[in-house]
Amino acid sequence: MSEFVVEGVWAAPGRVNVIGEHTDYNNGFVLPIAIPHTARAFVGRRTDGRLRLASTHAGSESVDLAAADLAPGALSGWAAYPAGVVWALRAAGYDIGGADIRIDSDVPVGAGLSSSAALSCAVVLAFGDLYELGLDRIESARIAQRVETDFVGVPVGMLDQMASLGCVEGHAYFLDCRDLTGTHVPFDCAGAGLRLLVVDTRARHALVDGGYAERRASCEEAAALLGVPSLREVADPDAALAALPDGPLRRRVRHVLTENERVLRVVDALRNGDVRAIGPELTASHASMRDDYTISCPELDTAVDTALAEGALGARLVGGGFGGSAIALVDEARCEAVTAAVEKAFAAHSFTPPRFFQAVPSAGARREG
C-alpha cells in the first residue's frame, strides 16, 4: 500500500462515567469525565474515492475499499468505527470522498472506557475540520452515535460521544440527555486527598452481545406501559413502580429512576466541594446495577466489594456492564492497599489479573496537529 496521506491529527479521549449508568437512552442524567487515554486519528483526504484504514495495533492488517461501497455490517472490529464515520456522514448528506485514516489509540479496548466512541469522535472531528462541515458538538456526537447504532448495530445512547467531545480538564460533565444541555462541575479528587481508581477487570465486555439492547428494550416497554414518552417523564416514581408488575421490569425501572436521583445528589455534593460525600452514592449505584438492572458480573462485584472492604469511600461498575471496569473512590493513603487487596482477591478467584490506573478529569476531543 502506498504511503498514507496525512493532513492532520485529531485526538479524542475515553471516559469514566462518575455516575448515571443506563440513564442516557432514557433521557436522563449522566456525569462523565474524560480520561487521559485517547484515540488519535491521522487523516488525509483522497481524490480517488478510496477509503484506506490502518491501525497501529492491527499490525500490517489494513482495509482498502471504495467509500461509496460502505454499508452497515460490512466491517467489524476497529475498522468499523472510522469507516462507520464516513458512512454516517454520507448518510447524513455530507459530500465526503475517500480518505486515508490511521488510528493509534491507548484507550483500553473492551474495558468499558469507551474506546470505540473515542475512535469515532476523533474521526468525526477530522472530517468536520478537513471538509469544513461546520458541525457543532451535538451534531458531531450524533454522527458518532450513528456509527454505533446504525453501522455497528448497538443501540447506545449519547453518553460516550458527548463525554469524549465535551469534557474539560478538572471537571465532570453534568449532562441532561433529554436536550443534551450540559454544565461542567469541578471535580477535584486530589484536592480532597482522594484518588479515583479504575480497576479494569479484564472480564470481557461486549455490548453487541444483546444484554445491552435487551435492557434498553425493557425501558421502552415500561415507558409505553406507563404511558410516558421516556422514563424521564415519570412524574411520581413510587406510583410508577407500583403500577408495574412485580418482577424484572419493575426492578429495571427502579434502577433508572433511582440512578437519576443519585446523579443529582452527586452533582450537588460536587458543587458544594464535598467530594467525599459522593462515595455512598457510587456504592448504591453499583448495588442497583447488580440487583435491579442485573448487569454486573463476579469480577466487577469482587473489585467493588474488595475495594470497599479495604476502605474505599465508594465503588461501582462503569459503562454498559457485563464486564469491563469498576471505579473506586479511595483515600490517597489507602490506594496501594486497595490495589493489592483487589489483586489478591482476583488471584484467589483465579480471575485474569486486573489492571489499574487513576482517572484524572482530562480534556475532551481536539486537533493535535
Which residues does the annotation place in the binding site for substrate? 21-24, 212
Number of Cβ atoms within 10 Å of the Cβ of 340: 12
174 binds ligand GAF (CB under 6 A): no
C-alpha 120, offset from chain centre:
12
115-130 helix and 137-146 helix, angle to the nearest 10 degrees: 120
Q: Are 216 and 148 in contact (CB under 8 A)?
A: no
Question: Rounded to the nearest whole angstrom, what is the least distance from the CB of residue 332 to ligand GAF in the complex?
Answer: 28
Interface map 318-357 toward ligand GAF (x if CB under 6 A): -xx-------------------------------------
Which contiguous run of DSSP H or E holds residue 104? strand 98-105
299 binds ligand GAF (CB under 6 A): no
Among 63, 111, 123, 160, binds ligand GAF (CB under 6 A): 160
Residues in Cβ contact with 179 at an 8 Å cutoff, skipping those fewer than 6 apart: none
How many angstroms separate the CA atoms of 321 and 341, rounded? 22
Nearer to ligand GAF, 124 or 345 (CB): 124
Q: Record the cell numbers describing residue 325, joined without a space.
A: 471496569
Q: Is 238 a catalytic residue?
A: no
Active-site annotation holder among 48, 69, 136, 160: 160
How many angstroms separate the CA atoms of 89 and 146, rounded? 9
Write out the binding residues for Mg(2+).
Answer: 116, 148
Q: Are 267 and 174 in contact (CB under 8 A)?
A: yes
Nearer to ligand GAF, 110 or 237 (CB): 110
Question: Rounded to the nearest whole angstrom, what is the least distance from the CB of residue 317 to ligand GAF in the complex?
Answer: 10
Q: Which of these segments, 91-99, 156-164, 302-310, 325-333, binds ligand GAF (CB under 6 A)?
A: 156-164
Which residues are catalytically annotated?
160
**Could you list the residues that contact ligand GAF (CB under 6 A)?**
21-22, 24-25, 156-157, 159-160, 319-320
